[in-house]
């Protein structure tokens, strides 16, 4: 098994799951208001390649969705990759009972995402057209649509983040230093090799 | 001078030649002589080393046991907390395709026997594989195979289906009695590349067809490599309770395997790490949940 220290160092990356864009709690049945009803599930559809503005949707899945899932473990979130570049890049949000007040402004009613599951009887789906948007823009839209409450990072988390950043910068420096040392050693060896070759020649002649 | 020095060991010869009297006329070019000296010295050095290795024990090969670090200083997790992280990291993936894995690190010596076994989970991990059995039609083996749950059973029926390109099974087992007919049918070209050829070496040509079918259908094989047993123990959609049951069953079986070994060999579970297809590894502390954990009911499904 991999060295314990390496494993623990690698495991520090789970901090990324807790802190950053998308670290927010969506309204659940207990915390729902009239304006922002509870969210029952999320579904994202996008095409495999980035052409025609599908890149942001993929980045949203990679960056924001894990954090959303971490803070809302009970909400099912599905992602569907298609091969159809012309097809929709859509994030469908399912509300319990009726959609939120902001859905009328943000959601695109005519967007036809055939891959998204059909809403159940007591659900209303609102589809966001995310084609051509960056993942941060998508996240802002989702926040406005659902009324998600962001979870601020604690002081310890921020300190840890800073420490990791410091280590990362240090690693770049160290890497350059070690590379220089190794190169110097290699040069030295090559020089000796060449000198030995000349000696051989002298003896033969 | 030369005859005298040839009687001495090479190392001594080098020593002498280096402190030759300066009165002796230099017969060789200075570069060459210094080169020879250097060679003599190195030769002597090598011989010395060889003598040493002959006399005493051979060189040390490193520790006899795998390194066991103290696990007190590392972060360890309750099952539910680890699952919450893993589920967040695996978000959006197919819950039946992504698997939870465990890596069981053992406390053991570097040499000696390894643990190798098969087990059946209380909650099966993979969808049951479809099995084809080649055996003489009308035999007892055929009835047994059907009773054990094989999908396709027979001789000519199987050959025709395979030749027609309909391969609707994941594993293929043959009875020794029908190997002759099987070889005549010449299906190696079709089955070979798919890894479905029955062979005695793989344990897929057996007398006890029914028992083998039963094992292949729901079982998982595992083995110890470099003191670690790795095996998938659940689908991502499993609830914490299901996963806990599978985990408990697995660990019990591994403990039994450890106990069943030779008396002189001691093995023991040292660390259990929960991981997943794309996720990092979380060392488990043996608790199911902590007071900070989310409701276990939330940790299942998509």
**B209-251 pLDDT, tens digit each:** 676 766 666 677 788 888 999 999 988 989 999 999 999 999 9
What DSSP character marks residue B227?
T
**Domains and their CATH numbers in chain B:** 79-126+220-299 (3.30.190.20), 131-216 (3.40.50.790)
Does pLDDT of B282 surpass 80? Answer: yes
Q: Note whether A65 and A19 are same-domain residues.
A: yes
Residues in chain A: 205
The pLDDT-based confidence of B117 (bands split at 50, 70, 90) is confident
Residues from chain A that touch B105, judged by Cβ atoms under 8 A, are: 1
Query: Residue B294: which of B82, B101, B122 has the closest Cα?
Result: B82
Q: What is the mean predicted confidence (pLDDT) over B192-205?
A: 68
Predicted pLDDT at B58: 67
- Looking at residue B15, its pLDDT comes to 47
Which residue among A108, A135, A150 closes a domain? A150
Is residue A171 domain-shared with residue A132, that is, in the same domain? no
Which one, of A27, A117, A33, lies nearest residue A75 by Cα? Answer: A27
Q: How far is A164 from chain B (nearest CA, A)?
A: 17
Residue A1 in 3-state DSSP? coil
What is the predicted pLDDT for the residue at B46? 47
Q: Which residues of B85-108 are buried (b: 16+ CB within 10 A; e: fewer)?
A: bbbbbbbbbebeebbbbbbbbbeb
Give the three-state DSSP class for B254: helix
- Tell whether A2 is covered by a domain: no
Could you tell me if residue A1 is inside a domain? no
- Pairwise CB contact (< 8 Å): B89 & A17: yes
Pair A114, A181 in one domain: no
On whether both A94 and A168 belong to a single domain, the answer is: no
The answer to whether residue A22 is domain-embedded is yes
- The shortest C-alpha distance from B140 to chain A (Å) reads 47
Q: Does A91 share its domain with A144? A: yes
Residue in chain A closest to B293 (alpha carbons) equals: A73
Domain count, chain A: 2
CB interface of B with A, residues 247-276, below 8 Å: 273
* pLDDT mean over B247-258: 91
> Per-residue confidence at B206, pLDDT binned at 50, 70, 90?
low
Minimal Cα–Cα distance from A76 to chain B, Å? Answer: 5
Strand pairing category for A39-47 and A90-96: antiparallel
Residues A137, A161 within the same domain = no
Cα–Cα distances (Å) from A36 to A65, A70, A98, A134, in that order, read 20, 21, 9, 24
Domain assignment present for A116: yes
Where in the sequence is the domain holding A176, given as residue range(s)?
154-204
Q: Do B91 and A69 touch (CB under 8 A)?
A: yes
Residues A26 and A87 in one domain: yes
| Chain A residues within 8 Å of chain B (Cβ atoms) | 1, 4, 7-8, 10-11, 13-14, 17, 41, 44, 61, 65-70, 73-74, 76-79, 199, 202-203
Domain of residue A84, CATH code: 3.40.30.10
Q: Name the residue facing A66 among B89, B105, B273 (closest C-beta).
A: B89
Same domain, A47 and A143: yes
In this predicted structure, which of B22-26, B99-103, B121-125, B256-260 has the lowest mean pLDDT? B22-26
Q: Are residues A146 and A112 in the same domain?
A: yes
Residue A20 domain flag? yes
Which tokens belong to B124? 């099966």
Contacts of A44 in chain B (CB under 8 A): 92
Q: How far apart are CA B230 and CA B223, in angstroms?
A: 8
Q: Are residues A127 and A182 in the same domain?
A: no
Whether residue A125 is found in the same domain as residue A167: no
What was the pLDDT predicted at B81? Answer: 92
Same domain, A164 and A143: no
């Amino acid at each position: 098994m991999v060295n314990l220290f390496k494993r623990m160092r690698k495991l520090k990356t789970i901090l990324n799951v807790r802190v950053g864009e998308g670290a927010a709690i969506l309204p659940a049945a207990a915390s729902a208001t009239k304006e922002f009803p509870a969210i029952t599930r999320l579904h994202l559809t996008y095409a495999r390649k980035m052409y025609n503005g599908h890149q942001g949707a993929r980045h949203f899945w990679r960056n924001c969705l894990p954090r959303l899932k971490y803070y809302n473990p009970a909400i099912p979130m599905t992602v569907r990759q298609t091969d159809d570049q012309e097809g929709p890049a859509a994030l469908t949000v399912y509300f319990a009972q009726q959609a939120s007040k902001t859905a009328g402004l943000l959601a695109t009613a005519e967007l036809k995402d055939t891959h998204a599951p059909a809403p159940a009887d007591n659900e209303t789906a609102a589809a966001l057209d995310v084609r051509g948007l960056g993942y941060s823009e998508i996240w802002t839209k989702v926040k406005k649509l659902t009324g998600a409450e962001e979870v601020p990072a604690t002081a310890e988390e921020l300190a840890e983040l800073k420490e990791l950043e410091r280590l990362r910068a240090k690693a770049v420096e160290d890497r350059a230093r070690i590379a220089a040392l190794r190169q110097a050693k290699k040069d030295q060896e090559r020089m000796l090799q060449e000198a030995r070759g000349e000696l051989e020649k002298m003896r033969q002649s | 001078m030369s005859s005298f020095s040839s009687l001495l060991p090479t190392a001594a010869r080098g020593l002498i030649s280096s402190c030759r009297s300066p009165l002796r006329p230099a017969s060789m070019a200075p570069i060459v002589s210094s080169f020879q000296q250097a060679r003599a010295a190195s030769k002597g050095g090598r011989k010395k080393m060889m003598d040493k290795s002959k006399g005493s024990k051979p060189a040390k090969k490193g520790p006899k046991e795998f390194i066991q670090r103290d696990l007190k200083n590392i972060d360890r997790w309750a099952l539910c907390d680890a699952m919450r992280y893993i589920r967040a990291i695996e978000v959006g993936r197919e819950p039946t395709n992504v698997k939870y894995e465990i890596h069981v690190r053992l406390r053991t010596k570097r040499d000696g026997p390894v643990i190798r076994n098969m087990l059946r989970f209380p909650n099966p991990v993979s969808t049951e594989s479809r099995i084809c059995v080649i055996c003489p039609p009308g035999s007892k083996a055929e009835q047994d195979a059907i009773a054990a749950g094989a999908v396709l059973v027979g001789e000519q029926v199987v050959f025709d289906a395979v030749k027609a390109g309909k391969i609707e099974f994941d594993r293929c087992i043959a009875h020794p009695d029908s190997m002759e007919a099987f070889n005549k049918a010449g299906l190696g070209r079709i089955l070979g590349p798919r890894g479905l050829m029955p062979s005695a070496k793989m344990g897929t040509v057996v007398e006890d067809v029914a028992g083998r079918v039963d094992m292949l259908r729901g079982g998982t094989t595992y083995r110890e490599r470099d003191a670690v047993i790795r095996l998938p123990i659940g689908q991502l959609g499993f609830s914490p309770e299901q996963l806990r049951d599978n985990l408990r069953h697995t660990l019990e079986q591994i403990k039994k395997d450890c106990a069943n070994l030779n008396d002189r060999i001691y093995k023991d579970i040292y660390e259990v790490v929960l991981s997943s297809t794309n996720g990092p590894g979380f060392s488990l502390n043996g608790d199911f949940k902590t007071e900070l954990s989310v409701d276990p009911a939330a940790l299942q499904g998509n």
